[in-house]
Chains A and B, each alone.
Chain A
Amino acid sequence: MVVALSDYLVVSALLFGVGIYGLVTKRNAMRLVFAVEILVNAANINFIAFNRFLWPTALGQTAVLFSIALAAAEAAVILAIVVVAYRVHDDVDVSELKNLKG
């Protein structure tokens, strides 16, 4: 048995499924952050796997480097928002944060 491209894609799809499930069912803001990060990681695995198997240039790896850096910036902002939401509302349940609701 040799690890093929589809094996990595299956891992990525499973990770994506876990992330989507968390994004849909969780109401705790921290769990939503976890789910988003899991989704980004699933996408990155896809990038690197396709890059390695089908089109081995450095561009795929460079794109993933950019993606990781952006995801880290995004995580910093989201976690700051979570802390502020907790300070203002004393809660991190996103269904309780209704101030922006029209």
Chain B
Amino acid sequence: MVDATDAAFIALTVVTIGGAISALEAKEIIYGAVGLAASFFGVASLFFLLDSPFVAAFQITVYVGAVAVLVLFTVMLVREGKWFGDSMGPAASFAALVTVVALVFSLVTSFFAAGLSTTSEQASAPSFVDIGQLLTGQYSPVLEILALVLAASVLGALTLAKVEPPSEADALVKAQTGDEREGA
């Protein structure tokens, strides 16, 4: 008998895995970005099923809200014609597929051999209060460092992506091509 939780779990599995596959295999990369967002959303819903609503909300905010939008903007910034023929050859892809299937198969058999299929959920799930106490108590230094890392990465991304004055960039390109010509 399949009850509501099982049905939800199966549907979310399909959304998560299907979204991930379409992210990598969709012809147009913009559809791939949408598939990736769907996959993130599926993962967030799996967190809900696992009684971790705080992590699920965080996942939706950060991944579906921020990262997916960032990816969409990057895809739109880079010209469209560049997205075709972006895979290895068929032989390399087939070899990778066989290796990955073997990897996943061995992982899954080891899960079942370890008896994890009979493990059922613990009675109580940790609450918001516990997470908040950990974040502000024992792990508050980690939180501070994480804030610094986030600030540093955003500053770094801005510095990297900053548009330089055209004359300077031209000079750089000219110098590079000149070096190559001399080297050849």
Contact = CB atoms under 8 A, between A and B. Distances in A.
> Do A and B assemble together?
yes
Interface of A: 1-11, 13-22, 24-28, 30-31, 33-35, 37-38, 41, 44-45, 48-49, 51-54, 56-62, 64-66, 68-77, 79-84, 86, 91-93
Given A8-B50, A16-B104, A68-B59, A3 B6 contact: yes
Given A4-B119, A83-B161, A10 B32 contact: no
A30 B75 contact: yes
A21 B126 contact: no
Q: Which of A28, A68, A74 has the most CB of B within 10 A?
A: A28
B122 interface: yes
Contacts of B126: 51, 56-58, 60-61
Contacts of A52: 50-52, 121-122, 125
Interface of B: 1-3, 5-6, 9, 13, 16-17, 20-21, 23-24, 29, 32-33, 36, 39-40, 43, 46-47, 49-52, 54-55, 58-59, 62-63, 66-67, 70-71, 74-75, 77-79, 82-83, 86-88, 92-93, 96-97, 99-101, 103-104, 107-108, 111-112, 116-122, 124-127, 130-131, 133-135, 139, 142, 146, 149-150, 152-154, 156-158, 160-161
